[in-house]
Amino acid sequence: MSLFEKRNKYMFETLFGSTEHCIVVVDKEGVITYINSGYADFIGVDRKKAEGRHVTEVIENTRMHIVVETGREEVADLQYIRGDYMIANRIPVFEDGELTGAFGMVLFRDTDEWKVMNTNVKELLMELESYRENFKKNTGASYSLHNIVSHSPKMMEVKDTVRKMATGDASVLLRGESGTGKELFAHSLHNLSERNGEPFIKVNCAAIPEQLFEAELFGYEEGAFTGAKKGGKAGKFQLADGGTLFLDEVGDMPLHAQVKILRALQEGEVEPLGSETSELVNVRVVAATNQALEELISRQEFREDLYYRINVVSVDIPPLRERPEDIRLLAKYILSKTGDSMRKKVEGFSEATIQVLEGYPWPGNIRELENTIESAVHMADGSYIEVSDLPGSITAASVTEEESLKTILERVEKETIEQALTRTSGDKNAAAAHLGIGKTSLYDKAKKYGI
């Protein structure tokens, strides 16, 4: 630890060592540089072992690492810790205009005053959740930007773009590979718009048989065709009237239906099958595709005029391989959901496992990551997921002719030890404690790798 860091730590201890509030300070990498005794005692960790570790490994549901990524303060934010909602302030720290870390404070830790307030907050949140559930049932839109877990700059830009365009009525085309979360952004666009109290109707263009496509989208009158439902049936456009129509996998839409969809968007009216009159509809269209529509147009498989109608605003969602900084965060988030649903206690991932996950290209994106972690939870025997618990397809993709799995694990182990020693300023005893291994084991490994 440098003299500057020691002075800072002494200053923090003087100011906050005996305060009732929970205090934590992280550097620009999200690593804890200071945590006061009150906070360490409250969350049940060894203060010395907590310092030097990434904040996500120590504090439940923390967002300190996100604050140092975005540089944006979060004041009076609810944080769920140890079964209760706390109020947290998180402030980015700048020195000479450069972001160097973040300062966090949890208020109302465990006082009688907070217990009363926490009970009231829980009641309000439960009531709010009830309203949300009813709202979801009525509108069909279940997700918001809050559900899109990420702190990568690319995804932050996408979220900002969605916020800006959500208030208008312009058609939006969401582009991205399968499994990148296009549907979540479609839900978010609806929920952020002025149409959020109206229906959100999804149409998977790839799942509807071609001969039934028009009937599904535009509805039909009684007797329109053999087997038509008595009294007729409203189409997706009519159901979405006043709200948002989400056309997923729009590139798979049959050509004969594209003419009628274009008319519905241009004229604001649809004509049910078997009807001689048109019906006025007011919908906002959000479309999504994992195909290059321009290529489909060149092959005359997609109408160019419809393309320009749905592509008023285009949003490109980056694949997971282009934002590897999200993999650790996503893996922990998915693990918490998977562990709860399977009722199996798995606390986290070994550092070697994270390295393998971060090195894999994820052609199936987040959907593939979810499947991988679910499989690993099933296979895990201990409280941490090891490389051996991952599917063979994941580990095999990391092995090249020049580098065997054993070599990869040794490289990751060496890098992890070097990082721990850097964080502890070369103190091997502290590094061993940080890594959770014995001092003798660390000395042996350091000697083996020439560290």
Summarised one tens digit per residue, pLDDT across range 289-326 is 999 999 999 999 999 999 999 999 999 999 999 999 89
* First vs last C-alpha separation in the chain: 19
Q: What angle do CA 443, 447, 448 make, to 5 degrees?
A: 115
Residue 402: per-residue pLDDT: 44
Q: Running DSSP on this structure, what letter comes out for residue 208?
A: S
Structure-token match 């694990």, residue found:
409
What CATH code would you report for 321-398? 1.10.8.60
Residue ranges, comma separated, of all CATH 1.10.8.60 domains in the chain are 321-398
Query: Of 435, 433, 438, 442, nearest to 48 (Cα)?
Result: 433
3-state secondary structure of 5: helix
Residue ranges, comma separated, of all CATH 3.40.50.300 domains in the chain are 145-316
Residue 117: per-residue pLDDT: 56
Task: Locate 179 and state its tokens.
Answer: 């499994």
Q: What ranges make up the beta strands (E) of 69-166? A: 74-81, 84-95, 98-107
CA pair distance 56, 331, nearest whole angstrom: 12
pLDDT in tens, 329-363: 999 889 988 866 667 778 889 888 998 998 889 99
CA pair distance 255, 46, nearest whole angstrom: 65
Residue 293: per-residue pLDDT: 95
Structure-token match 């006082």, residue found:
111
Which fold, 405-449?
Arc Repressor Mutant, subunit A (1.10.10)
Residue 162: per-residue pLDDT: 92
Residue 17: per-residue pLDDT: 58
Query: Of 67, 129, 139, nearest to 104 (Cα)?
Result: 67
Task: Locate 228 and state its tokens.
Answer: 């038509």
CA distances, 333 to each of 182, 272, 297, 374, 440 (Å): 19, 45, 39, 12, 34
Residue ranges, comma separated, of all CATH 3.30.450.20 domains in the chain are 3-109
Which fold, 3-109?
Beta-Lactamase (3.30.450)
For helices 351-359 and 405-423, angle between their N-to-C axes, nearest 10 degrees: 120
Which residues in the chain show pLDDT less than 70?
A: 1-20, 108-140, 225-228, 339-342, 398-409
Tell which CATH architecture fits domain 145-316. Answer: 3-Layer(aba) Sandwich (3.40)
Residue 395: per-residue pLDDT: 81
Task: Locate 159 and state its tokens.
Answer: 């979220």
Residue 180: per-residue pLDDT: 93
